[in-house]
Amino acid sequence: MPGLLIAVVLTLIAGILVLNFTTGEKKIEQSVERLYSAADPAFARAMGVLLGPAILQGNRFEALLNGDRIFPAMLASIRDAKKTITFESYIYWSDAIGKEFADALAERARAGVKVHVLLDWVGSNKMDPTHLAVMEAAGVEVRKFHKPAWYSLARMNNRTHRKVLVVDGKVGFTGGVGIAGLWTGDAQDPQHWRDTHFRAEGPVVAQMQAVFLDNWIKATGVVLHGDNYFPELLPAGNDAAQMFSSSPSGGSESMHLMYLLAITSAQHTIHLSSAYFVPDQLSTQALVDALKRGVKVQIIVPGEHSDAAVVQSASRARWGDLLAAGAEIHEYQPTMYHCKVLIIDSLMVSVGSTNFDNRSFRLNDEANLNIYAADFARQQVEVFNADLSRSRRISLHEWQQRPLSEKFLEHTASLFGAQL
């Protein structure tokens, strides 16, 4: 009888592990055929139809570099809120910036603004309980995404990695930053990270609100709607854009598909900023095929200040084919490089929470803002080139000559690539 009980328990544990480490959905198994370039209107049509949200005209965007510009802009919008604030984040830790956000959100709630905050249970595990208490006492609705419960153990590996702030349904923010001291400053030293966030105005903000609502419904069962959340949005600029999301609970492959479609459409250049670059076979092949047709591929990844040694080792293990095909891979030197930006042919920019790895493509809930605007894209290439000047290029020869001990660590780390 004890043996039977042990067998049952082990079977349950094995079942939970399998459910946590697989998506249950069919994966993209073949390379995406190249049918058009990024300049072809058919590319935009495909992105709108295949990814879901339509591409909307009339938007305006501002790129915010590093905490010294990102956090003041976010806090200013929060403090200016009149009706609603919706905020979703993976990281929320116990630093001065965490207190500043908690105080600002609480003050608006006391003023009668409806404030809804969704934090990942894992990503916010370092949050000071007093910050949470301050917000809740003021009337802020705070929920934790996939907090452990007996009935949800199979979803423990599915985290919300999304980073979305929407104020009054009119102004939106998304990008790579979490709420922690590491993101403050201006990337001036290893204690202050390099990252990018975008501020948005115009019709696409409604799609950003819908992305927040997607997980708010999952966490609470409550639908937030009406003019306070979805007001009429008039054109605010001249740029086209779409905001879309992915989740293992539905459409987990859409983010992977977006990257494959974008890379396949490239005709001249691919600029990729990636905090965690662990490409799968299809993504690697798409980049190699781009190089073979003459596309210049430049990639910036973290250098010695990476915050994830295992991920970095798994990443380096996969550089061989890319370097041999002519890709430029550069390691950012001053501090941790947390940017997540893709630029195609200086025409299209994608920014958001998504890393270039399997965890983002298949396991996490992610969200990206795609902007189709040549002038804005060229500005982001200038930002990329500035980061490039602070990076060190890794040659194929250097990669081939790395020590055996390093190769062993990389091989070991790469065995866990499906979870990185």
> Are the C-beta atoms of residues 86 and 216 closer than 8 Å to each other?
yes
The residue-averaged pLDDT of 77-82 equals 98
Q: pLDDT at position 157, please? A: 55
Number of domains in the chain: 1
The pLDDT value given to residue 410: 81
Residue 135 covered by a domain: yes
Between the alpha carbon of residue 89 and those of residues 68, 162, 170, 178, 374, the distances in Å are 19, 6, 19, 7, 29
CATH code of the domain in which 147 resides: 3.30.870.10
Structural domain span for residue 118: 24-419
pLDDT value at residue 262: 97
Q: Is residue 14 part of a domain?
A: no
Residue 13, in any domain of the structure = no
Within-domain flag for 7: no
CA distances from 334 to 193, 306, 399 (A): 9, 11, 21
In a domain, 218, yes or no: yes
Q: What is the pTM of this model?
A: 0.90
Hey, which bits of 92-195 come out as E strands? 114-120, 141-145, 164-167, 171-175
7 pLDDT exceeds 80? no
C-alpha 86 chain-centroid distance: 18
Count CB atoms within 10 A of the CB of residue 251.
15
Q: Say yes or no to pLDDT of 158 above 70.
A: no
Residue 67's H or E segment, with its range, is helix 67-79
Higher pLDDT: 269 or 7? It is: 269
**C-beta of residue 419 within 8 angstroms of C-beta of residue 355:** no
Whose tokens are 């958001």? That residue is: 352
What does the pLDDT read at residue 394?
A: 98
CB atoms within 10 A of CB 75: 16
Question: What is the pLDDT, as a whole number, of residue 413?
Answer: 78
pLDDT tens column, 98-107: 999 999 999 9
Res. 123 pLDDT band, cuts 50 70 90:
confident
What pLDDT sits at residue 10? 44
**Catalytic positions:** 161, 163, 168, 338, 340, 345
Q: What mean pLDDT value characterizes the chain?
A: 90
**Around Cβ 127, how many Cβ atoms within 10 Å?**
21
Give the other-Cβ count within 10 Å of 69's Cβ: 16
The residue behind tokens 């999304």 is 162
Grouping H, G, I as helix, E, B as strand and the rest as coil, residue 297 is: strand
314 falls within a domain: yes
Distance CA 119, CA 106 (A): 16
Is there a domain that residue 186 lies in? yes
Question: Does residue 8 fall inside a structural domain?
Answer: no
